[in-house]
Amino acid sequence: MHETQRRYSPSVAEERRRLVGQIATVMEASSVIRDPNSRQLLLQELGHALGGTLGYRELGLLRPQIVELVTVCVDRPGGLRCLVECLELLEPGSEQTITLLRLADEWQVAELFSDHDIPWLRSLLSTLEVTAELRRFVAQTRATPAPPWCETAWQLFAHLASANAHSEVPPWLPLLDRLATAVPQASLDQMRQLVAQLAKDWGVTDQLDASQPSPPTPTGTAYLVIQFEKYGGDDDTYIMSHWYQWASPVWQPIRGEDRHVPYTELEAAVDQVINETERRWADQAGAVTIEFVLPWQLINEPVDTWRKELHSRMPSPLTTEYPLVIRSLERIRASQWHRVWRSRWRDLADRDSERKLVRCAASHHADVQLEATLKRENAIVVLVLSESPTADSVGERQLLVALRSGVPAIVWHRNSPSKEDLCQTVASMVGDRASGSGLTDLPNRAARLRQLAWSEDPERLDQHIGHGFVILFDDPDRQPGGAISADGDRRKVFA
C-alpha cells in the first residue's frame, strides 16, 4: 500500500526511514548502481519483474536517485525483494546483496507488524546468536533450513516473517515463543506479552503449543556428501562441492562453499571439509555417514583409504570412524535413468527372504547379457561386479549397465580377491536380517567389515577382504540438488 494511503505510527515511520536510508547506503556502494549502463540494465530487469513501468523519476544526483528507486519499490508488494533479486542477478554473491537480503526481510517485518510497536524487538534479538539447536528447531518447524546468512535471532525472525507460511501458525511465532526463554530476565515479561498478543491477533493461541515440534532424538544418522566434478577442460582440477545435514526425516541439506582443487590435493581438501563439519556438529551426538559423489573418471578412486587430520602426528583412516560409500554423479544427473532406479530402491524395503536380491556378475557377463538378466530379475537390488571397474574393462561395462538398470547397491573389490569370497561376503551381509535392516544397513555393515580389517595385524592388511571393499550405495530420495549454499545462494546443483 502506498504511503499516502496509510498512516504509520511514529515508531513505524521512523523504522521505515531507517530502512530506506540503510538500503540506499548499501546500494550506493554497488558497482552496478554506480555504472550508468549497468544501472539501466537493472531498471530494465526490475521493470520486467514487476510487470510494468516503475513510475520512476530520473534525478541528477546518485543518492536521491537511489532513494527514489527504493521508495518506489517498497511501496509495491514484493517490490523490494524484486529489486534485491535483480541486483543479485547482475552482482551475484556480493556482500551488498547479502546485506540487502537482510534489509528486505526487515522491511517485511515493518510491513507485517505495522500495527504493533516492536522496534525494541530488533535491539533485543540482535544480541542473540543463532545456535545449531535453533537452526534445527526452525528446520523442524517449517521443514526448510534457514539460510546461513541468518546469524542473529533478529535476522532469523525477519527471514521467517518474509517467508510464505504454509501452516496455520506462522513460522516466526513458534520461534519467538522459543526465544522467550533465551532473552535476558529483564525482557522476559515483555517478550511473553508480545508472543501472547501476537498469537491472539493471529487467532492461533490454541494452536501455538501444538505447532511446537517434538525435540529431536539424541541419536540418528547425519550425512556429509562430498562431490567432485571435472573443472572445464582442465585435466587436473576438480570442482569440489559438499552438503551437510544433521539427522532429520526431511532431506534438505545445506550446501557448503565450492572449491577448485587439483587432483593431488583432493584428500587434503576432504580433510579440511570434514574438520569444518565436525566443528559445526560439536554439540551433537550420533552417527555420521560420508558419501562421495564421484564422476566416471574417479569412480574407482580409493577414497576409502583417505585419512583425516592429515596435519596431526597420527592421521587416521576415514573408514575407522565413518560408514563411507560412493555414489555416481552420472546417475544422479541422468534423469532418464531415475524411474527404474526408484523402482528398484523401493524393493529394499521388501523383507521376503525367498526373493533373489543379490546378483554376482560372471566374468563373461557384460553389456547386453547382463542388462537382460537385470531386467528379467527386477527384484535384484545388489550387483557384485566380476572385477574392478578400471578403464575399458569388463567391470567398467558392468558398472554402467547396473547404473542405468537402476541397481541401487553395487559392490566390487579393488584388490581382486576371490570372486566367490566377495559374493559370499555380500550375500551374508544382505541375508543376516536379525541384526539390522538387511539391505538398507549395507553401508554400516561395510563399515564394520573395514573396521575389522584395520583392527587386524598391520603386516597382513592386504589379506583381509575389508581392504579394497567398495560399495556404491545410491538413495534416489536423498539427492543433494537445489540446496542452500553456505554463502546464502540458492543454486541448482544439477542441470
Question: In sequence order, what DSSP letters do the residues of 100-137 get, joined into one string?
Answer: HHHHHHHHHHHHHTTTS--HHHHHHHTTSB--HHHHHH
- Residue at 216 is within a domain: no
Same domain for 206 and 292, yes or no, is no
Highest mean pLDDT among 37-46, 72-81, 146-155, 330-339: 330-339
The tally of domains found in the chain comes to 3
- In angstroms, the CA 321 to CA 324 distance is 9
The whole-number pLDDT of residue 197 equals: 87
Q: What cell numbers appear for 244 in the block?
A: 551437510
- Residue at 218 is within a domain: no
Same domain for 300 and 382, yes or no, is yes
| Average pLDDT value for residue range 219-244 | 86
SS3 471: strand
Question: pLDDT over 90 for what percent of the chain?
Answer: 24
The whole-number pLDDT of residue 435 equals: 40
| Average pLDDT value for residue range 80-96 | 81
- Using 50, 70 and 90 to split pLDDT, how confident is the model at 237? very high
- Using 50, 70 and 90 to split pLDDT, how confident is the model at 485? very low
- Using 50, 70 and 90 to split pLDDT, how confident is the model at 32? confident
- Using 50, 70 and 90 to split pLDDT, how confident is the model at 215? very low
Same domain for 274 and 407, yes or no, is yes
- Residue ending a domain, among 84, 112, 140, is 112
- Using 50, 70 and 90 to split pLDDT, how confident is the model at 399? very high
- In angstroms, the CA 147 to CA 488 distance is 5
Same domain for 98 and 161, yes or no, is no
Same domain for 106 and 123, yes or no, is no
Greater confidence (56 vs 362) lies with 362
Greater confidence (5 vs 33) lies with 33
- Residue at 11 is within a domain: yes
The single-letter code of the amino acid at 217 is T
DSSP characters over 252-273: -PEE---EEEEGGGHHHHHHHH
The whole-number pLDDT of residue 217 equals: 40
Mind listing the pLDDT tens digit for each residue in 410-447? 999 988 667 778 888 888 888 654 443 567 788 988 99
- Using 50, 70 and 90 to split pLDDT, how confident is the model at 340? very high
The CA–CA distances, whole Å, from 90 to 30, 80, 94, 116 equal 10, 16, 10, 36
Lowest mean pLDDT among 316-320, 327-331, 456-460, 463-467: 456-460
Residue that the C-alpha cell 510487470 belongs to: 51
The whole-number pLDDT of residue 355 equals: 59
Same domain for 325 and 456, yes or no, is yes
- Residue at 494 is within a domain: no
- Residue at 107 is within a domain: yes
The contacts of residue 261 (CB under 8 Å, 6+ apart) are 237, 238, 239, 240, 269
Same domain for 396 and 322, yes or no, is yes
Lowest mean pLDDT among 55-59, 61-65, 130-134, 356-360: 55-59
The contacts of residue 341 (CB under 8 Å, 6+ apart) are 331, 406, 408, 474, 476
Same domain for 152 and 107, yes or no, is no
The whole-number pLDDT of residue 106 equals: 85
Q: β-strand 324-328 against 316-317: which pairing, if any?
A: unpaired
- Residue ending a domain, among 182, 211, 240, is 211
pLDDT at 366 over 80: no
- Using 50, 70 and 90 to split pLDDT, how confident is the model at 349? low
- Residue at 152 is within a domain: yes
- Using 50, 70 and 90 to split pLDDT, how confident is the model at 465? confident
pLDDT at 220 over 50: yes
pLDDT at 348 over 70: no
Which residue range is the domain that position 306 belongs to? 223-473
The whole-number pLDDT of residue 172 equals: 85
Cβ atoms 405, 369 nearer than 8 A = no
- Using 50, 70 and 90 to split pLDDT, how confident is the model at 404? very high
- Residue at 92 is within a domain: yes
Same domain for 10 and 39, yes or no, is yes
- Residue at 452 is within a domain: yes
Cβ atoms 323, 446 nearer than 8 A = yes
pLDDT at 23 over 90: no
The single-letter code of the amino acid at 240 is M
- In angstroms, the CA 430 to CA 126 distance is 52
Mind listing the pLDDT tens digit for each residue in 288-319? 999 999 999 999 999 999 999 999 999 999 99
Phi, psi at residue 210, to the nearest 5°? -70, -25
- Residue ending a domain, among 211, 243, 278, is 211
- Using 50, 70 and 90 to split pLDDT, how confident is the model at 491? very low
Same domain for 139 and 82, yes or no, is no
The whole-number pLDDT of residue 160 equals: 86
The whole-number pLDDT of residue 239 equals: 93
The whole-number pLDDT of residue 225 equals: 96
- Chain mean position to CA 242: 8
Mind listing the pLDDT tens digit for each residue in 172-204? 888 888 888 788 888 888 888 888 888 888 887
The single-letter code of the amino acid at 11 is S
The whole-number pLDDT of residue 277 equals: 92
The whole-number pLDDT of residue 3 equals: 41
Same domain for 139 and 243, yes or no, is no
Highest mean pLDDT among 1-10, 142-151, 347-356: 142-151
Mean pLDDT of the chain: 81
Same domain for 138 and 98, yes or no, is no
